[in-house]
Amino acid sequence: MGYALIDLFSGAGGLTQGFVAAGFTPVFAVEKDPDAARTYRANFGDHVHEGPIESLQSDAFPAARVIVGGPPCQGFSPLGKMNGGGANAELNGLWREYFRVVQAVKPDVFVLENVPPFLRSAEYAALVGKAEADEYEVTPGVVNAAEFGVAQRRRRAVVIGSRIGTPALPERTTSVVATVGEAIRHLPSPSSYGETLRPGTESSGLDLHFRRRSHSRSIERYRLIPPGGNRFTLKDKAPELLPKCWREKPTGSTDVLGRLRWEEPALTIRTEFWKPEKGRYLHPSEHRGLTHLEACLLQGFPEGYRWSGSKISIARQIGNAVPPPLATAVAREVLSLLERCRQ
């Protein structure tokens, strides 16, 4: 049996999946979202508490050598600052709940995952102060999932705190990045629209490989976008297909209505990956957005991973998750630290 692990703000279990692959044993998790908690439970067992972390007393948590977690990051992300202001800012303080559990359980190592801007925030400085006061040595950094076998360029902040030695961030595990083709090219063309997906049921594999119902005008646009192209391609090829909002905004993100390339990694898979109008989410060769299964594989989850919830809920879980292969790389560094402590 591996070292005991607690996952806070566990979501669908991306961090736990990565740590389990490295040999750790999950003993407790906390997740507020009911669908994400059910997804976690379907893959790892009944030890997940479904509810807000604030509702748990400090003595509710079992002993564990390692605590991991990703407190909500919307308040730190550029997109969140544009869309949320005060509402998202309220989430910034949830790292304090995370550290309350660290102080109660006193694990040998903790791992906190967030968006890169977190490392430049006052909240991060406060976290370091608390950690050092509790005799944790802290190592922060930004890692890119594409350097750890994930077919996606996704940059995340990772903070490792240790009471048993100097922690280290993982070094890239591959010199050649994984590609979209390697992750999803083996899949057949989707033939359904996900009619069988219902809230409260579990889905996996090809059950999640369904297309979105797109308007005929949208498909006209998709057909004109070449690999690597984007909404600006329409300006030259078919300006009459440009919606008014794009005609009146000649500059902006080059990811919108972008088409992926087979031979390159995807960009960050966010929660609305199934809408090509939201980012570089056009399939490399078919005239549609990504399916839920394709996004799952581009995040590095196993094809048989079980998901619970509606289409929108599962998409949110996938987009918010930590890519498991990245989590495994972090877990191996933590395992090395624990093993050195035993010698």
> Amino acid letter at 334?
V
- Can you list the positions of beta strands (E) in the chain? 4-8, 25-31, 48-50, 66-69, 109-114, 137-144, 155-162, 202-203, 307-308
Q: Give the Cα separation of 184 and 291 in Å (integer).
A: 10
Residue whose structure tokens are 């509710």 = 60
The reply to whether 341 belongs to the active site is: no
- Kindly name the residue from 73, 245, 296, 341 that is annotated as catalytic: 73
Q: Give the Cα separation of 200 and 158 in Å (integer).
A: 33
Helix H or strand E encompassing 93: none
Q: Give the Cα separation of 93 and 73 in Å (integer).
A: 10
DSSP for residue 62? P
DSSP for residue 149? T
Active site members: 73
